Amino acid sequence: MSIRDLLDDGAKRLSAAGVDSARADSRVLLAHAMGVSRENLIARQPSADEVALFESFVVRRAAREPVAYIRGTREFWSLDFKVGPGVLVPRPESETLIEEAAAVIPDRNAALSIADLGVGSGALLIAALKEFPNAHGVGFENSPNAFRYAEANLARHGLQARGKLVAANWTDATGPFDLVLSNPPYIPAADIEDLDPEVRLFEPRAALDGGGDGLDAYRSMAGLMSRLLRPGGTALLELGQGQAKAVELLFQDLAVVRVAPDLAGIPRVLVVQVPK
């Protein structure tokens, strides 16, 4: 079977399974099976083993397993991160947190102390440490599965000397820090069943479920920031759609600097500071 036939067949089967990005996913999965980039797919014919591997990938994707889990990696902030069952897949909109960190702290050589509350795969902490080469950071994570991915990613990017992971809830975090980052669970519990199957069936519920109104994690964090942040310190918190005003009210003890939109224009990151 030719490359084109394999791609067409994969796309047809994925489309029938309800996958919106069927053709693109078919191409990504075939390239992964062959160990080549998507651009180099036409360079050679796949072997029988590669075709069989591609077939297994299509079956998994048709069951709505995320492409990132099948490939075992996800790009974030132009860096590759190991991901898989038990850890949240990094999203492009979360890059707004790193953009805001760079805007709030323009000195890239600053010797910052950074915390990531609920570190997950480590994407936020690692991206921040890459942006600020003199910074040191601590990631707090109570999920053993996610913790293992964060450990692997910290090693993958050679940041063990500047990054530390603590197997604990963020409520156990102690500061002070110059910068606190977090992408907490913020989906209202009743809305989880309406999420795409890739998220609802495969990604860890604990990283999604924000309680009845989606704000439980922010309530928890609001009581922590005054002791986690040093004077003048900044916290950057990812928000769910439509949550900005409600979350702002929870952080009345801090100065709300702004609510930053993501590339889609959705208010995505709450920027708050402790007065100096």
CB 149 within 8 A of CB 72: no
Q: What pTM does this model have?
A: 0.93
Rounded Cα–Cα distance for residues 71 and 36 (Å): 12
Find out if CATH 1.10.10.410 is the number for domain 73-273.
no
Count CB-CB contacts under 10 A for residue 274.
20
Which part of the chain is CATH 3.40.50.150? 73-273
Average pLDDT over residues 169-178: 92
Q: What pLDDT, on a 0 to 100 scale, did the predictor assign at position 193? A: 95
Helical ranges in the chain per DSSP H: 3-16, 22-34, 48-62, 67-71, 95-104, 123-131, 144-156, 197, 216-222, 225-228, 244-250
**R_g of the chain, CA atoms, integer Å:** 20
pLDDT tens per residue across span 96-155 = 999 999 999 999 999 999 999 999 999 999 999 999 999 999 999 999 999 999 999 999
Which part of the chain is CATH 1.10.8? 3-63
Residue 260: band (very low, low, confident or very high) from pLDDT cuts 50, 70, 90 = very high
CB 129 within 8 A of CB 156: no
Residue 174: band (very low, low, confident or very high) from pLDDT cuts 50, 70, 90 = confident
Rounded Cα–Cα distance for residues 138 and 153 (Å): 14
**Exposed e or buried b per residue across 231-246, where buried means at least 16 C-beta atoms within 10 angstroms of its C-beta:** eebbbbbbbbeebbee
Residue 180: band (very low, low, confident or very high) from pLDDT cuts 50, 70, 90 = very high
Residue 69: band (very low, low, confident or very high) from pLDDT cuts 50, 70, 90 = very high
233 three-state secondary structure = strand
Find out if CATH 1.10.150 is the number for domain 3-63.
no
Torsion sign over Cα 223, 228, 230, 234: negative
Q: What pLDDT, on a 0 to 100 scale, did the predictor assign at position 159? A: 98
Residue of 261, 275, 258 whose CA lies nearest to 104: 258
